[in-house]
Amino acid sequence: MNPDELIRLCRDCAGAVYGTRPPTGRYAESVARLLAGTAAAESLLRYRRQIGFSDTNIRGAWGLGQTEQHAVADSVKYLRRRVDVNVSAIRFAPNAAAALLLDPLPLMQLIKADDRVACLFARLHYLRVAESVPDDLRGQAGYWKRYYNTRLGKGTVEGYMDKFRLVDPAL
């Protein structure tokens, strides 16, 4: 996916997928940058399947956000509890309606095949975090490390910031 398409997709997702209140324009832009940075850091905007895993093995990471099955399962549970988020999620990515019905492997394959659904599941992952998304790149990199890549992941704040240049070469 090229960076311009990714930014458009992330902006659409950030503005469309929310709970009871739509985000302000400024907050939606911070979320969009976080989603784009996540895709850059996790997949270099290229890989839709973790290297070394087949498409018939549930393990490993899927989609531009390299989302793992346990995180997707938590997001599906979240969608079942939050009707408001479910409505906005399905409005953004109609194919995601299948998420509530699919077994894990077909759902992960859908995340790999459909960039809108992949972006949605990265957004849902972050929506479950109580802390607000920071405005600045370094803050977003730290947020990604804490809540997405985690202390067990190989990613670093500096690596996220370097890879963000795939999205915004001016940085």
Q: Strand ranges (DSSP E) for the chain?
A: 61-62, 67-68
3-state DSSP percent of the chain in helix, strand and coil, to 5: 65, 5, 35
What is the C-alpha to C-alpha distance for residues 158 and 136, in angstroms, rounded to an integer? 14
Q: What is the pLDDT of residues 75-113, one digit of tens each?
A: 999 999 999 999 999 999 998 887 777 889 999 999 999
Q: Which pLDDT band, with edges at 50, 70 and 90, does 171 fall under?
A: low
Q: Is 30 exposed, middle or buried (0-12, 13-18, 19+ CB in 10 A)?
A: buried
44-67: pLDDT as tens digits: 999 999 999 999 999 999 999 999
